Amino acid sequence: MTDPPLIVQADGAVLLETLHPGYEPARERLAKFAELEKSPEYVHFYRITPISIWNAAALGESVDDVIPWMKANARFPVAKEVTERITEWFRRYGLVRLQKASGDRLQLVCEEPEVLAELVALKTLAKLVECDKAGRAFLPTGSRGDVKQALVRLGYPVDDRAGYQTGAELSFGLATSETFQLRDYQGAAAEAFHMGGTDVGGCGVVVLPCGAGKTIVGIAAMDLLQTNTLVLTTNTIAVRQWVREILAKTSLTEDQVGEYTGAHKNIRPVTVATYQILTHRRGKLDGFTHLDLFDRGGFGLIIYDEVHLLPAPVFRATAGIQARRRLGLTATLVREDGRQDEVFSLIGPKRYELPWKHLEGMGFLAVARCFEVRVPLGEERASRYKNATARNQIRIAADNEQKADVVGQLLRQHRTDRVLIIGQYLDQLRLLATLFKLPLITGQTNNIERDRLYAAFRSGEVPHLIVSKVGNFAVDLPDANVAIQVSGTFGSRQEEAQRLGRVLRPKSDGGTATFYTLVSSDTREQEFAKKRQLFLAEQGYGYEIIGKGDLKGDPAVGPEVSA
């Protein structure tokens, strides 16, 4: 009889054996309440945390679901302190509530009065709430977000039942056509956020892969609420894609949907803006010029696209608008700055998630193969690397000139495919663009030229395109089926997920997607690659590690490669 696949350690770490016959179902089940920390080849390391348990609770998991399953699948007895911590975290979910009180006040309520008394006596809460003689705790509505932030840091996530402002009414319908139909999971995601319009719903995060139609989920949520809406997204290209989708998928007209960017500042019933414009200020000591946009336009719903990238000033503004409904959309809740607790407390808990592999199995995502190509350093570069500071080693490894040989081989191997070459360093990308005579899009490329090149790529006029990290987000290139990542942002898991997402949209010919990451062998870049791949490993994507010599294409480089 095969031993169970898990080893649960006393510190909350969970080890999952990848070669175990029960690996796939165990991985999928474990991902519901634990976070993947490391993914070496034979054993994956997870950790159970308060946020992972609270998000599981928000999705309907209970302590009676988690602990018996974990015990049944653990190779050795699970330590009592582990089950006690999990039980306590589940108990705390929803233990403290916010509800309306008389006048312009809210009341903090707890089923266990002694817990509430302890909490409000703490310095971080004492300055935000007032207690009457009966021990009841009240706060002004303007402190709603601050109190929620303070409590989640103390280990008590708030069940916010204080209700919402309705916002200005906006009547419209979804488009009806043969080319557009709301997918079942998109409708289910919007309903999970809305929760019938009750105070229980109206805030939270929907987690779906790139290419799964998160924009459509946002539009479906708008349809359920029928209120003026502010959409915040990553860049001007994304703003215009949202505007196009809203106009195409609803009965809303051009005079009802406005762009609020550096180029245009139109506040309409539906306004789409960038995070950058909200965080703009004339000088370091000046206030944020446009942060008051939240209070203009009668918005009853705020949609945060790519919520895992929410900047700190927008977090602070969001703390002050807890009376608006808030929907976060993302492919991954991973934040490299560790501020998942702020997303949880200010935007809301995870309301809906569908694993990437499920959507692949349903035909809504392309089947993908991921390769890590190990590229050796040349003799001179290896010597420079050895004698460099830790910081400079990163750049020396990323800029490895032998990566250009590999790009040439891959372009030859995929000469008939739609290929995106993505990287972090502009000098490296400019060199590749010159070497292979390929167009390059960077943050300095104006929007008109970006739109032209993206359109040319979509049409097939330009089959191979180089993009900097501006290509990480909201680029609608459905026929891209090969991505070659030549460099990245250190160990960013979210970036890895976004870049794979560039090629995951289902192909018109039903073909597969291929994702290559070029990594300099025996360098810090190889260490970062292991961290970057964590999120995709959690979703069930394995990386095949190959060497430069394993590629099929002719290693010669030159202009003919792009022909």
Quote the pLDDT of residue 512: 87
Q: Which helix (H) or strand (E) holds 520?
A: strand 513-520
Q: Kindly state the DSSP code that residue 77 receives in the 8-state scheme.
A: P
Length of the chain: 563
Query: What does the alpha-carbon distance between residue 309 and residue 340 come to, in Å, rounded to a whole number?
Result: 11
Q: Which domains does the chain have, with CATH numbers?
A: 6-92 (no CATH), 97-160 (no CATH), 184-354 (3.40.50.300), 360-562 (3.40.50.300)
Bridge partners of 227, per DSSP, are 169
pLDDT grade, residue 555 (50/70/90)?
Answer: very low
**What b/e string do you get for 271-298 counting C-beta neighbours within 10 Å, with b at 16 or more?**
bbbbbebbbeeeeeeeebebbebbeebb
Query: What does the alpha-carbon distance between residue 267 and residue 13 come to, in Å, rounded to a whole number?
Result: 49
Query: What does the alpha-carbon distance between residue 366 and residue 502 come to, in Å, rounded to a whole number?
Result: 11
With a cut of 50, say whether residue 558 has pLDDT above it. Answer: no
Angle 223-502-407 from CA coordinates, rounded to 5°: 170
Mean of pLDDT over the chain:
88
pLDDT tens across 501-527, in order? 788 887 777 788 899 999 999 999 988
User: In 3D, which of 164, 186, 529, 130 has the Cα closest to residue 348?
Assistant: 164
Residues 186-208 have a mean pLDDT of 93
Q: Which helix (H) or strand (E) holds 495?
A: helix 493-501
pLDDT tens across 130-155, in order? 999 888 999 999 899 999 999 999 99
Query: What does the alpha-carbon distance between residue 506 and residue 9 come to, in Å, rounded to a whole number?
Result: 40
Angle in degrees, 0-180, between the axes of helices 236-249 and 214-225, rounded to the nearest 10: 60
8 A C-beta contact, residue 239 and residue 259: yes
Query: What does the alpha-carbon distance between residue 382 and residue 522 come to, in Å, rounded to a whole number?
Result: 10
Q: Residue 230: phi, psi to the nearest 5? A: -110, 125
Alpha-carbon distances of 111 from 92, 99, 200, rounded to whole Å:
11, 13, 18
400, exposed or middle or buried, with CB in 10 Å at 0-12, 13-18, 19+? buried
pLDDT tens across 158-175, in order? 999 999 988 999 999 999
With a cut of 70, say whether residue 562 has pLDDT above it. Answer: no
The percent of residues above 90 in pLDDT, for the chain, comes to 57
Question: Token pair of 358, please?
Answer: 């499920």
Residues 333-348 have a mean pLDDT of 80
pLDDT grade, residue 311 (50/70/90)?
Answer: confident
Give the contacts of 530 (CB within 8 A, at least 6 positions apart): 38, 39, 40, 491
Residue 421 CB coordination number (10 Å)? 25
**What b/e string do you get for 535-557 counting C-beta neighbours within 10 Å, with b at 16 or more?**
bbbbbbbebeeeebeebebeeeb
With a cut of 80, say whether residue 328 has pLDDT above it. Answer: yes
Bigger pLDDT: 224 or 296?
224
8 A C-beta contact, residue 534 and residue 38: yes
With a cut of 80, say whether residue 489 has pLDDT above it. Answer: no
pTM of the model: 0.85
Question: Token pair of 199, please?
Answer: 């105070």
Query: What does the alpha-carbon distance between residue 310 and residue 278 come to, in Å, rounded to a whole number?
Result: 11
pLDDT tens across 522-547, in order? 999 988 888 788 777 777 787 888 98
Query: What does the alpha-carbon distance between residue 450 and residue 99 come to, in Å, rounded to a whole number?
Result: 48
**What b/e string do you get for 124-162 counting C-beta neighbours within 10 Å, with b at 16 or more?**
ebeebbeeeeeebbbbebebbbbbbbbbbeeebbbbbeb
Query: What does the alpha-carbon distance between residue 31 and residue 538 come to, in Å, rounded to a whole number?
Result: 7
CA 187 to chain centre: 20
Query: What does the alpha-carbon distance between residue 458 and residue 481 come to, in Å, rounded to a whole number?
Result: 11
Quote the pLDDT of residue 435: 95
With a cut of 70, say whether residue 50 has pLDDT above it. Answer: yes
With a cut of 50, say whether residue 563 has pLDDT above it. Answer: no
Quote the pLDDT of residue 431: 95
Give the contacts of 477 (CB within 8 A, at least 6 positions apart): 418, 420, 454, 457, 458, 502, 505
Residues 59-70 have a mean pLDDT of 95
pLDDT grade, residue 551 (50/70/90)?
Answer: confident
3-state secondary structure 322-363: CCCEEEEEECCCCCCCCCHHHHHHHHCCEEEECCHHHHHHCC
Residues 301-328 have a mean pLDDT of 87
Contacts 24+ apart (CB under 8 A), 425-431: 425/395, 425/398, 425/399, 425/487, 426/468, 427/399, 428/398, 428/399, 428/403, 428/486, 428/487, 429/466, 429/468, 429/486, 431/404
The percent of residues above 70 in pLDDT, for the chain, comes to 95
Quote the pLDDT of residue 170: 97
Bigger pLDDT: 281 or 454?
454
pLDDT grade, residue 557 (50/70/90)?
Answer: very low
Tell how strand 229-233 and strand 137-140 pair up. Answer: unpaired
Angle 185-191-195 from CA coordinates, rounded to 5°: 150
